[in-house]
Chain A
């Protein structure tokens, strides 16, 4: 870690700045006590948010998911915060680690810029639609809408957890059996250097039309639930479009940052993103995202994924029970 900070001076400056800011806030705070939160409690909430976001960013990078998949369900399941606020902050959590990792992935030649731009259009459109529907639903359905969101998200989390348990059926170097006409015309061919084999891997993305339609759905889900969508983007690229796994994972981070960037504007403009609350989460993602990408190779990813699966299943149970209670008015004696 000290070597890492030395190698990346801007990271050192950011860590130093963040520590200095949070110490200053602790010493010079102008916060007032309220019925719900003392001034010290407010400071602890802000600093705690930064630290949790930092851990989520590292765990997310190692576990191969976006931070939104961890942040949004946990906050919706275990706090009474408004779902629209949680989802907008979830988008911040989902996108900022992707934003800072775009540079390194592009320089290493792992993320394919042409595939990213092709997939970006449906994912951006889907994300914008999802965000608008989320805001409209919050305006028109109120608490019932909140409960419905929790219920639906609970089911999605079960699906994600099952995907992880099944191993995701990922294919490191998928073989394409045929090339459809549209894919042939678009010529999404490229190559990347595989360090472990010491050779170049050549590939061509196929099924571009079905892939595009799936990205529309992924974008909508991400924009609506504030999840991001990395859990879905990698399988679509890898299994549907036959893009090698490493390129899929790298392109996924870049692609989601782009899609979520479009989704977040409606939330910002409607005041559904509260800056002072989202700020520590954003900072944690930036710092954690840079560090996570560098320590990835040293950590046992399998162990982290098992913890993720347990967390996702626990959170899904809580979300489904809260959703049933809120939407149908039925008491569910769980957790």
Chain B
């Protein structure tokens, strides 16, 4: 910088490609993003497996032909589950965990995996914020993580 005259614009950054040093990227952020990215992708592959079983076998908790027809027919959630053979009522809780051997159960597990990946990502990120000395935001992150766990029950 010292060899520039006062009225001379500093175009060296653009001309030479030498630019200001980039600020460090938060490791807590990288950990958060990577856990979610891979958790979502893993969930997507489980959804693919569940979809194959749902539509190419009869191993289902909720018959897909009946389900798709009911959806297009404008039936409500309650009506769809009440009219489903062998079920008779809408499920409660993490019902898919009890029917993981079926296509619907596996498909829902895949979706749930993507959704759930947020929770470990938040806590992992909170840990690295804490080790970085950012105790306030580590606590904020942990609170956010606890609320997402509460949402699951």
- Give A114 to B104 CA distance when docked, in angstroms: 37
Point out the residues of chain B lying under 8 angstroms from A80, CB to CB. Answer: 72-74
| Contact yes or no, A35 B69, CB < 8 A | yes
* Residue in A closest to B45 when the chains form the complex, CB atoms: A17
| Contact yes or no, B40 A275, CB < 8 A | no
Count of chain A residues near B, Cβ 8 A: 88
Q: Confirm or deny: A118 has a beta carbon within 8 angstroms of a beta carbon on chain B.
A: yes
Contact of A109 among B19, B26, B136 (CB under 8 A): B26
Point out the residues of chain A lying under 8 angstroms from B22, CB to CB. Answer: 109, 193, 200
| Contact yes or no, A268 B33, CB < 8 A | no
| Contact yes or no, A24 B137, CB < 8 A | no
Stretch of A161-169, A277-285, A316-324 contacting B (4+ beta carbons < 8 Å): A277-285
| Contact yes or no, A82 B77, CB < 8 A | yes
Point out the residues of chain B lying under 8 angstroms from A103, CB to CB. Answer: 33-34, 36-38
List residues of B (120-153) whose CB comes within 8 Å of A's CBs.
121-122, 125, 129, 134, 136-137, 140-141, 143-144, 147-148, 151-152
Contact of B20 among A82, A200, A257 (CB under 8 A): A200
Q: Confirm or deny: A120 has a beta carbon within 8 angstroms of a beta carbon on chain B.
A: yes
- Give A199 to B12 CA distance when docked, in angstroms: 12
- Give A117 to B26 CA distance when docked, in angstroms: 13
Q: Confirm or deny: A272 has a beta carbon within 8 angstroms of a beta carbon on chain B.
A: yes
| Contact yes or no, B48 A275, CB < 8 A | no
- Give A114 to B128 CA distance when docked, in angstroms: 12
Task: Tell me, rounded to whole Å, the shortest Cβ–Cβ distance linking A23 to chain B.
Answer: 11
* Residue in A closest to B66 when the chains form the complex, CB atoms: A34
Task: Tell me, rounded to whole Å, the shortest Cβ–Cβ distance linking B16 to chain A.
Answer: 10
Point out the residues of chain B lying under 8 angstroms from A32, CB to CB. Answer: 65
Task: Tell me, rounded to whole Å, the shortest Cβ–Cβ distance linking B41 to chain A.
Answer: 6
Size band of the B side of the interface? 35 or more
Contact of A21 among B48, B114, B122, B137 (CB under 8 A): B48
- Give A113 to B122 CA distance when docked, in angstroms: 10
Point out the residues of chain A lying under 8 angstroms from B134, CB to CB. Answer: 114
Contact of B147 among A37, A125, A266 (CB under 8 A): A125
Contact of A107 among B19, B20, B33, B67 (CB under 8 A): B33
* Residue in B closest to A98 when the chains form the complex, CB atoms: B36
- Give A200 to B64 CA distance when docked, in angstroms: 53
| Contact yes or no, A277 B71, CB < 8 A | yes
* Residue in B closest to A199 when the chains form the complex, CB atoms: B20
Point out the residues of chain B lying under 8 angstroms from A30, CB to CB. Answer: 55-58
Point out the residues of chain B lying under 8 angstroms from A33, CB to CB. Answer: 65
| Contact yes or no, B108 A275, CB < 8 A | yes
* Residue in B closest to A114 when the chains form the complex, CB atoms: B137
| Contact yes or no, B29 A279, CB < 8 A | no
* Residue in B closest to A29 when the chains form the complex, CB atoms: B55
Point out the residues of chain A lying under 8 angstroms from B125, CB to CB. Answer: 113, 117
Interface residues of chain B, those whose CB is within 8 Å of chain A, are: 13-14, 19-23, 25-26, 28-30, 32-34, 36-38, 40-41, 44-45, 47-48, 50-52, 54-58, 62, 64-69, 71-78, 80-81, 90-96, 103-104, 107-108, 110-112, 114-119, 121-122, 125, 129, 134, 136-137, 140-141, 143-144, 147-148, 151-152
16 contacts between A and B (CB under 8 A): A31-B64, A33-B65, A42-B69, A82-B80, A103-B36, A112-B26, A114-B129, A118-B140, A120-B122, A198-B20, A261-B115, A261-B118, A275-B107, A276-B68, A277-B68, A279-B50
Interface residues of chain A, those whose CB is within 8 Å of chain B, are: 10, 14, 17-18, 21, 24-25, 28-37, 39, 42-43, 45-46, 79-82, 84-85, 92, 95-96, 99-100, 102-109, 111-114, 117-118, 120-121, 124-125, 128, 138-139, 142, 186, 190-193, 198-200, 254, 257-258, 261-266, 268-280, 282-283, 286
Known contacts A25-B55, A279-B111, then 7 further A-B pairs from the complex at CB < 8 Å, ordered by chain A residue: A14-B41, A45-B68, A82-B74, A84-B76, A262-B151, A275-B104, A283-B44
